Chain A
Amino acid sequence: MNLYDIIFYFFAVVTIASAAVVVFSRNIVYSAFSLLFTFFGVAGIYVLLNADFLAITQLLVYVGGILVLILFGVMLTTNVVSVEIKTGTMQTLPATIIVALLAGLLGGIVWTTDWFVGKRLSEVTSQTTSKEIGTALITTHVLPFEIASVILLVAIVGAAMMARRERSNTNI
């Protein structure tokens, strides 16, 4: 087990443990804060995989943007700390069976499959991925890139429409 493996397992444990806290915590503020560590752990794994651009994006967008947004949402909602969130467990037996089956199946697949390997880390020559990603985004992947912008436009309009509806409701 070399240093690389140790760092990987460290980030993996951080990601999974904090994700478990997000799900199981009954206090939404704790959940929101431990989401920070989940995002951070994933960013760490990206760095280990030489995906520098993805790692930075993960930090900027998820930690810097989405997480802050969630925290603001939590803080601006009145009484959210004192309100008990309804987190019940239903249908325990069937859920356990299905989850166990699915986990076993997926685990088995992960172990037995010959996964596709593109380039090994030792074969990677370029120092940074940003340039390659940038080139791909405006050449081979230009269409998905542009469609994503239309999707964002739709999402903004949709969000504004729903938010305005809420406001006019309270006015009445």
Chain B
Amino acid sequence: MNTDIIIKNLSLLTPELIVTGTLCFVLLGHAFDRKNSQLYVLLSFAGMLTALFTLTSYIGVKSSVFSGMLNVDPFATYFKIVIVFATLVILVMSRFSDEVNNETETVGEYYFLILSMCLGMMFMVGASNLIMMYLSLEMTGLTAYVASGFTRKAKDSSEASLKYLLYGAFSSGVMLYGISLIYGLTGTLNIAGINHVLLQGSANGWALSIASIFIIVGFGYKISAVPFHYWTPDVYEGAPVTITAFLSVASKAAGFAMMMRAFKVMFIDSSAVSVLAGTWTFIHGVQIQNVLIILSVLTMTLGNLVALWQDNMKRLLAYSSIAQAGYMLLGLAVLSNDGFAAVMIYFVVYLFMNLGAFYVVMLISNKINSEHIDKYKGLGRKSPFLSVALAVFLISLTGLPPTAGFIGKWMIFLSLINAKMIALAIIGVLNSVISLYYYVRVIRNMFLRDEQEAGERMTFPYAQQILLLSLLIPTLYFGLFFNQLIEFAQFSVAMVGVK
């Protein structure tokens, strides 16, 4: 591998290079002008916008770079767009967040951390070698540990950070053990190479199952699937809202993308003839489909049931995001291209509605300094625009028409029905009904309950309202005009190394 090849490979990584350059500039800027947070936001925003722009020119590119370490394919590009877009929203959100702006000393590092988390996630979605997967997972993890303990005053924040770190260290240790087992079985770390060796059928089934389950532990932690979810509520509550929102959307998207690629490339049995077009099966001996089904049912049921008792908005949204991960795992468990496309569609929808919900929570917390659900009483009168927006986001999270959340859920259930997994689809629908209760509780508090003391109207600057609108409009738009999104997702299912 000579320099020419390296340079050629690097040109396919332009978006990542731009992000890396931006984060270096933010760090340098921090050395000169420590408290100028406007500068960091502008710099980061410009960098991420350029990255997003260059990403669009890679749509359709299908290539493997750096001796199979990383894949640049439509699947990765799709998720990179989701992640970079989420980063852009989070950057603007952070600019408006009192929680972040109060930390004048460390605000530069904050933006540096956001950017490096984004970089780690961009590598996660493309990684096609177990070393790369582990490294990018650690990069995202490390930044997330520090970022979730960002706010100085909150005691919860340090606790969140420590819990996150301990769980993270444990689960990545288990995952690393699984990786070492896989290497011991096959003698390679490249996921396509592993598949090639496994297809020859010499590997011990037990060892393979244990190794794959160990690897699922690492992924499950990242996407906060039950029973690896214990860190989620505490971290989501303790971390600044911006970081919580970022973790719940982008980090989850990256974890899902990595998991989907790992399973689809590593354990697929390409020799088996499948009954339905587009479906595929795992190599004989790998029982991951059952594991995935159990995980998804547990995840959504537990997430929804525990969310019923939550009184803190951040905690409620944390459990709701656990439940949402459960729905998405359903799409994974189908083991078909339809299911994968459904998960990808869901992530775009989820990006807008979940970031929107967290954004409203943040704006309200800026004003009343509380996230308790009782404090939302009478909000419909004090700030009609915010309340209506939050109501739309919550309805969308439930999955009711005419919002985008309906389309996301609809596609997942459709793929389940197509694969004749009716029982699972019914469990999913029942779960949505349960979730309606706690989402509506918030809406009821805002519009139908009077508050004890009469507060005055809340006003918000136009800039903050514009960001809210730009999250609200897509949530409604994709609920009505979804064809292009579905086509784009189905086009982007293609991965390198899969027929």
Measured CB to CB, the residues of A under 8 A from B are: 105-106, 108-109, 112-118, 139-144, 147-148, 150-151, 153-155, 157-158, 160-162, 164-165, 168-169
Contact = CB atoms under 8 A, between A and B. Distances in A.
B69 interface: yes
Interface string B273-297: 0000000000000000000000000
19 contacts: A105-B210, A108-B206, A109-B181, A109-B204, A114-B202, A116-B184, A139-B67, A143-B66, A143-B70, A147-B123, A147-B139, A148-B135, A151-B142, A153-B27, A154-B146, A157-B27, A157-B112, A165-B152, A168-B105
Given A154-B113, A154-B142, A144 B135 contact: yes
Given A144-B135, A148-B135, 10 more contacts: A108-B206, A112-B204, A141-B69, A143-B66, A150-B119, A154-B113, A157-B27, A158-B109, A158-B113, A164-B106
A151 B138 contact: yes
Interface of B: 1, 6, 20, 27, 65-67, 69-70, 105-106, 109, 112-113, 116, 119, 123, 129, 131-132, 135-136, 138-139, 142-143, 145-146, 149, 152, 181, 183-187, 202-204, 206-207, 210
Contact of A155 (B1, B66, B112, B142): B142
Given A112-B206, A150-B116, A161 B109 contact: yes
Closest CB pairs A-B (n = 8): A158-B146, A116-B187, A143-B66, A113-B204, A140-B67, A139-B1, A109-B207, A161-B109
A156 to B, nearest CB: 10
Contact of B206 (A109, A117, A139): A109
A158 B148 CA distance: 11
A140 B68 CA distance: 9
A160 B30 CA distance: 13
A142 B3 CA distance: 11
A120 to B, nearest CB: 13
A161 B185 contact: no
B142 A158 contact: yes
B105 A147 contact: no
B131 A158 contact: no
B219 to A, nearest CB: 19
A6 to B, nearest CB: 25
A88 B66 CA distance: 48
B439 to A, nearest CB: 35
B460 to A, nearest CB: 30
A141 B6 CA distance: 11
B210 A109 contact: yes
B139 A118 contact: no
Contacts of B207: 109, 112-113
A141 B116 CA distance: 21
Contacts of B106: 161, 164-165
Contact of A144 (B105, B131, B146, B149): B131
A161 B145 CA distance: 12
A102 to B, nearest CB: 9
Nearest to A108: B206
Contacts of A161: 106, 109, 146
B157 to A, nearest CB: 10
